[in-house]
Structure 1
Amino acid sequence: MLDNALRKAAAVWIRPDGHEPRLVWALWRDGTLLVAVGGTEQEVPGLADDVTCTVTVRSPTTHSHLVDASATARLTEPDDDTAAALRAARLNSEPRWESVYRLEFA
């Protein structure tokens, strides 16, 4: 269920341990959820390497709760293909991020 929900979701709620949930855009790619932060992108207080997060996915049509999942954030340096996919997924023309996190699900 998590895989299907994340394939369809353009945005998810992320709650790093000890912080409030934050609605963020994210990209589901190759079995992991990628979140770009900083620069011209969103801020997610508490998101850092090796931090446990709760990811909540809601239905894109009804906005009802679909699933909660625990994930660990891993700071990553996206390869060229992944960086291009992150840029293509954004609505703004020149996304610039400081960091990209890969959320790995337990």
Structure 2
Amino acid sequence: MPVEPSLAPGVEEGAKKSGILWLGLAAGPRLAWHVWHDGAIHLVTGGEEQSLPGLDALDRVRVTLRSKDNGARLVEFDAAVSVVDQERAPEAVAALAKERLNARDAEHLTERWARECVVVRLTPVS
């Protein structure tokens, strides 16, 4: 479901233009790579992937998107956090795998994620 412009101006455009974002976690701000898919931000954490401690246990998280060009803050918003069932969301997992750079096991990446990682969906909220 797409984000309503009045709900979070610039979120979709910013998320599509920048491959990284900042998350406000209890352990402190964390940089994370992500993809925009199906009206939300998706990312993977755990195993050999990026460490985002406690993200999958949160109901909401503060997200900051920054410009690729100069690092300026584009938009900051709260997002609802939900864990993605990787079997039921193959399109989201495929979108993440396509953007995953320098994976040591590119041809078996999604299988490793299914065993070791959590895919998380961040849906902007008002």
Offset from partner CA, 1:49-99 (integer Å, 9 cap, x none): 443110000100111111101011101113222222211111023344310
Structure 2 gaps, min length 5: 1-9
Contact 2:42/2:92 (8 A) holds in 1: no
Q: CA RMSD in A?
A: 1.5
Q: What does residue range 67-78 of structure 1 map to in structure 2 within 5 Å?
A: 67-78=75-86
User: TM-score, normalization: structure 2?
Assistant: 0.76
Instruction: Choose from 85, 94, 113 the match for 1:84.
Output: 94
2:85 is aligned with 1:66:
no
1:101 is matched with 120
Residue identity matched to 2:92:
T
- Paired with 1:2 and 1:11, the residues of 2 have a C-alpha distance of 13
Unaligned runs of 5+ in 1: none
On the 8 A contact 2:23/2:61 being kept in 1, the answer is yes
Question: Which residue of 23, 33, 36 maps to 1:14?
Answer: 23
- Runs of 4+ with >3 A deviation: none
Which stretch shifts more, 40-49 or 22-31? 40-49
| Structure 1 match to 2:38 | 30
CA distance in 2, matches of 1:71, 1:83: 19
Match of 1:41 in 2: 49
Greater helix share, structure number:
2
Describe the SS at the equivalent of 1:57.
strand
